[in-house]
Amino acid sequence: MKYISVFIIALLFGFSGYSQTPQKVALEKKKVTIKWMTMEEALELSQRKGNQKKILVDIYTKWCKWCERMDQITFRHPQIAQYINENFYPVKFDAQQSQEIVYQEKSYGNVKSGKKRYHALAVELLRGKMSYPTIVFLDEDSNLIQSVAGFKSPRQFEKIATYFGSDFYRNTPWSKYQKVFKPILTDE
């Protein structure tokens, strides 16, 4: 009886791996991660001929718990990571960093306001609505398309990222896109 119980448990664990799609298993084996870069690197790459992609900017702060959660859950999802790497230049941008950055021929740096500090480029990209995390989508010419505030699960993020990454935003209203969207994520 003891051996039968052990055999059944072993079978259950053995079959649980078959519920994953081959694509997901392959991505997990590769440990697909987002290839984050600096804003300067993304802007430089986007200016090269024949190599243009949109820029995805994750604006965060070190003290933001929802930012950490987005990193741990959404950005670690292998299919999300693969989609971002293929369709965007992904940027991690600390909204309180001190480094000077030139964006669209204007220099931005860290600003002190009372006891708080913030980066002027974060203010520019977020149109003054300082909320973390916020994902900013820039087009191939580095112009602001849209910013999306708040934590997004992998499923929520997939819908948003494909809307901008696959250029649906150019011709399809968001309300219509939500109705026809077909998710490809195998799990959350």
Tell me the domains of the chain and their CATH numbers: 21-97+126-180 (3.40.30.10)
For CA atoms 110, 112, 115, 116, the dihedral sign is negative
pLDDT attached to residue 187 = 61
Both structure tokens of 67:
């930012």
Question: In whole angstroms, how far apart are CA 130 and each of 34, 39, 119, 158, 162?
Answer: 24, 18, 10, 23, 24
Q: Which residues contact 64 (CB under 8 A, 6 or more apart)?
A: 132, 133
Helices (H) and strands (E) in the chain, counts: 8, 8
Segments in the chain below pLDDT 50: 1-21, 24-25, 27
Do residues 96 and 110 lie in contact, with contact meaning Cβ atoms separated by under 8 Å? Answer: yes
Q: C-alpha distances in angstroms, 73 versus 68, 138, 154?
A: 9, 23, 7
Task: Tell me what pLDDT residue 149 has.
Answer: 97
**Which among 99, 98, 81 has a CA at the least distance from the CA of 90?**
81
